[in-house]
């Protein structure tokens, strides 16, 4: 800690940016001794699962919110969750995550009816990813359309995630999907992108887990898949609707709604001519709001403004985005 503070002073730091809620609380003393502004970014488990599993964090967060200058989060839903923990709304700011859009090739997907629909699912095997619901919907869809499904991901050693893996494998067997599912396990990020271009649709129906765990904002993988030009079927969970524009760049179902997911997948198979417009809308939205370069500039402007003036615009101003309606079948 002493060397950290010494380094900060040596380089003339004016802002300390802590990542994750617990890190922000731990860094309170560092920021005070350095005499700098303090920014904290929350990411998901630290807002929902952590306080529920260890209530001491409710008091720690209140202490931190009173002291810090700015709290960043991915979207308006997440901002509301942080406010519910006791953070003054004038200290909360939405700062979208960003991806290197210029490094992601835009290739709108095309699918020919009568050929296998190739569906990609990717994520760590945790309850919040909702993978069994995706598989159940695909189990119904395979009665109408030939499918090739790829699942990238696995469970870590936590018992709750090992249980989720068993549930996923049991769903594959129960839905008769063994012959059309490839289980690739954990793969390097570059391989995920290679697989993405071999598939037509990405399915990622996140849910609120029984222990309160959520995405917080939205999975970065959804942002990347939209940038590639792939239709996304997801859920009305946390800030996913701010990434996937429902009925415009993708389709969203309520959490745990297998019938809703099936309906969206069926709509895509019935309207392949509409995919091009969805891909273009998705790419444009990612370029405008989730481009790492753009978000980096916005973050730098926040740092500069915070160092010069402690007045921060509330997250509530200018972030309402009404859902779009599901497009009608052609």
* 68-113 confidence digits (pLDDT tens): 999 999 999 999 999 999 999 999 999 998 999 999 999 999 999 9
Checking if the pLDDT of 324 tops 60, the result is no
How high is the pLDDT of residue 103? 96
pTM attached to this predicted model = 0.87
pLDDT tens-digit readout, 229-252: 999 999 999 999 999 999 999 999
- Percent of the chain that is helix, strand, coil (3-state, to 5): 45, 15, 40
For residue 149, the surrounding DSSP H or E stretch is strand 147-152
Check residue 324 and report its DSSP letter: P
Tokens matching residue 199? 């598939």
What is the rounded distance in angstroms from the CA atom of residue 275 to the CA atom of residue 263? 16
Tokens matching residue 229? 């030009």
Check residue 99 and report its DSSP letter: B
| Of the listed ranges 161-170, 185-194, 210-219, 237-246, the one predicted with least confidence | 210-219
How high is the pLDDT of residue 50? 93
Nearest to residue 260, comparing CAs of 213, 199, 207? Answer: 207
Residues 133-145 have a mean pLDDT of 97
Residues 126-154 have a mean pLDDT of 98
Residues 191-212 have a mean pLDDT of 96
How high is the pLDDT of residue 236? 98
pLDDT tens-digit readout, 288-309: 999 999 999 999 999 999 888 6
What is the rounded distance in angstroms from the CA atom of residue 171 to the CA atom of residue 165? 10
Nearest to residue 302, comparing CAs of 28, 70, 13? Answer: 70
Residues 129-157 have a mean pLDDT of 97
Dihedral of the CA atoms 225, 229, 235, 237 (nearest 10)?
A: 60
Tokens matching residue 328? 């009608």
């Amino acid at each position: 800690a002493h060397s950290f503070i010494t380094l900060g002073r040596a380089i003339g730091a004016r802002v300390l940016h802590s990542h994750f809620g617990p890190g922000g609380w731990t860094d309170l003393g560092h920021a005070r001794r350095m005499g700098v502004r303090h920014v904290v970014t929350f990411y998901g488990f630290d807002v929902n699962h952590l306080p529920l599993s260890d209530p001491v964090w409710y008091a720690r967060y209140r202490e931190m919110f009173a002291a810090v200058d700015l709290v960043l989060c991915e979207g308006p839903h997440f901002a509301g969750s942080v406010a519910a923990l006791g953070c003054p709304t004038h200290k909360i700011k939405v700062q979208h995550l960003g991806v290197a859009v210029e490094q992601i090739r835009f290739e709108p997907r095309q699918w020919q009816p009568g050929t296998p629909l190739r569906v990609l699912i990717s994520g760590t095997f945790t309850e919040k990813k909702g993978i069994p619901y995706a598989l159940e919907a695909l189990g119904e869809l395979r009665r109408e359309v030939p499918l090739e499904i790829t699942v990238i991901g696995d469970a870590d050693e936590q018992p709750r995630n090992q249980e989720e893996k068993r549930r996923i494998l049991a769903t594959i067997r129960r839905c008769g999907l063994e012959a059309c599912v490839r289980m690739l396990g954990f793969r390097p990020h570059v391989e995920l992108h290679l697989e993405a271009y071999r598939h037509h649709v990405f399915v990622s129906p996140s849910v609120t887990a029984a222990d309160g765990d959520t995405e917080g904002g939205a999975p970065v993988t959804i942002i990347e898949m939209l940038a590639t030009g792939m239709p996304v079927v997801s859920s009305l969970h946390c800030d996913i609707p701010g990434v996937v524009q429902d009925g415009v760049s993708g389709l969203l179902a309520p959490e745990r709604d297998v019938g809703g997911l099936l309906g969206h997948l069926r709509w895509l198979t019935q309207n392949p001519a509409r995919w091009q417009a969805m891909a273009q809308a998705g790419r444009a939205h990612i370029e405008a709001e989730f481009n790492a370069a753009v978000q980096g500039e916005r973050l730098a402007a926040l740092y500069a403004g915070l160092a010069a003036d402690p007045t921060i615009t509330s997250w509530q101003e200018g972030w309402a985005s009404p859902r779009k309606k599901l497009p009608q079948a052609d």
